Structure 1
Amino acid sequence: MATDSLKVLTDKSEIFLKKFENGIGKFSANALNKHVALYSHLLQEANSIANEFSQYLDNWPSFQNTEEEPSKKELVTSKIGQWFSLYGKIASHELYFSSLGRNGNCEGKIKELLEINFDSVVRFKLDFKIKALYSTGWVWLVLDHYTGKLFNLSSNREDAFPFSGMSPLLAIDLVEHAYESDFGSDKEGYIEEFFNALDWKEIEKNLPIM
């Protein structure tokens, strides 16, 4: 039986709400605030599970070698799975929100890396956009720790998040709730406006020291 508690996560809603109070480009403040509220709900749910898990660990000695132990183990395993599923959504949302906030101008170290790995920023955007158009979950720009290369990674799962051997640098949410309020069914328009609203200085901060 594991002895480590699940992590209680810090709610960054107030930071994001402050950032989005006037909207960003064609992203309205109302739509962004609703999106942040969804993130906050996911985080509260994850923290509730983490606290419940901690209580199970505290009481675990009383369950050991009893008839209750198998069912408690099954319950704890289920809670761990639920927490990690929520964490994937939360971490991607935090990356998505932090990626937004400026005029989309790409410069500095991150621009150099995009040009090295995709030949140009334009080709990076094209590759990212194609993946985003056909994804119903997330697309991330990630740095592969083993090769040192950047590439775009997509998933149709809402709870997916690139963990092992990679550093995600930016993310776009492609679930309908992310864009239908401001863009309706115009997913391509949403993706283009996402590029226009990127804060590349903030994104560059996600580069690991290697």
Structure 2
Amino acid sequence: MAKHPVKALPYANDALKGIGAKTIEIHHDKLYAGYVNKRNEIEEELTKVDRSKANQIYSQMRGLKHEETFAANGQILHEIYFDVMGGDGQPAGEVFDKIKEDFGSYATWEEDFKAAGMCARGWVVLAYDPTDGRLHNFIGDAQNQGGVWGAFPVLPCDTYEHSYFIDYGSDRKAYIEAFIRNIKWGEVNRRYLAAANMALAKK
């Protein structure tokens, strides 16, 4: 079985504004890499598990399948999270127009994104929902809780404490503002267009 690789950062650890090199080093090299490694480990264990003993109350099968979603989403969301940072924070492209269309204005979207980030225990994710053709700010209290199936994440922000505690202590608001200043809107736009085009192709 092919192993999931740990993706390299697309920028130096110290390249971001207001998010320090130590935070990025730990976040990427330890936490994110840990999700990838555990996903690989779980997938290997699933090839050997006794499926005849699967049980909804407790079984090895249930435990592995449950944690598979946690590790997989941890890998996927972190890869997008790192990819959408490293920019100048200036919104542009079709996704900028779509944000204004769906939220009324960019300022309204940003206010909603920040508020969602303040109340999320794990993630706030700007995602494209093909069922209504709109962008939404969804929250998740864990990597495998709160996601909307079928929606495409285009801009996830990690709101777990490990994302900001070294730099900001408990000041999550300041971290979210720093995250927004580092958004690489070209990458967000690429992801939005890919999601919208995929949805159109399925109609």
Per the TM superposition, whether the score is higher than 0.5 is: yes
Deviations 1:3-37 (A, max 9, x none): xx8x842321xx21x51333301111111010002
Match of 1:86 in 2: 71
How many angstroms does 1:164 deviate by? 1.8
1:75 pairs, out of 60, 66, 69, with 60
Match of 1:46 in 2: 39
Match of 1:28 in 2: 20
Match of 1:9 in 2: 4
Partner SS state of residue 146, structure 1: coil
1:55 corresponds to 2:36:
no
After superposition, residues 135-174 of structure 1 pair within 5 angstroms as 135-160=120-145, 162=147, 164-174=149-159
TM-score w.r.t. length of structure 2: 0.86
For residue 85 of structure 1, what is the amino acid of its counterpart?
Answer: F
How many angstroms does 1:90 deviate by? 1.7
How many angstroms does 1:125 deviate by? 0.3
Structure 2 residues without counterparts, runs of 5 or longer? none
Give the Cα–Cα distance (whole angstroms) in 1 for the partners of residues 54 and 89 of structure 2: 52
> % of aligned pairs identical?
23
TM-score w.r.t. length of structure 1: 0.83
Partner SS state of residue 25, structure 1: coil
Give the Cα–Cα distance (whole angstroms) in 2 for the partners of residues 153 and 190 of structure 1: 18
Match of 2:11 in 1: 19
Partner SS state of residue 66, structure 2: helix
The count of corresponding residues between Structure 1 and Structure 2 is 192
Give the Cα–Cα distance (whole angstroms) in 1 for the partners of residues 14 and 120 of structure 2: 29
Match of 2:87 in 1: 102
> Is the CA contact (8 Å cut-off) linking 1:8 and 1:51 kept in structure 2?
no
1:113 pairs, out of 79, 95, 98, with 98
How many angstroms does 1:74 deviate by? 3.0
For residue 5 of structure 2, what is the amino acid of its counterpart?
Answer: T
Higher mean alpha-carbon deviation, 105-114 vs 71-80, is at 71-80
Deviations 1:79-128 (A, max 9, x none): 12111121122212112111111110101111110110111111110011
> Is the CA contact (8 Å cut-off) linking 1:23 and 1:32 kept in structure 2?
no
> Is the CA contact (8 Å cut-off) linking 1:89 and 1:160 kept in structure 2?
no
> How much is the aligned-residue C-alpha RMSD, in angstroms?
2.2
Structure 1 residues without counterparts, runs of 5 or longer? 64-68
Partner SS state of residue 4, structure 2: coil
Partner SS state of residue 38, structure 2: helix
Give the Cα–Cα distance (whole angstroms) in 2 for the partners of residues 97 and 27 of structure 1: 12
Give the Cα–Cα distance (whole angstroms) in 2 for the partners of residues 71 and 112 of structure 1: 48
How many angstroms does 1:54 deviate by? 2.0
The structure with the largest alpha-carbon Rg is: 1
Deviations 1:159-202 (A, max 9, x none): 33635221111111111111011111111111111110000101
Give the Cα–Cα distance (whole angstroms) in 2 for the partners of residues 180 and 11 of structure 1: 24
Give the Cα–Cα distance (whole angstroms) in 1 for the partners of residues 53 and 173 of structure 2: 50
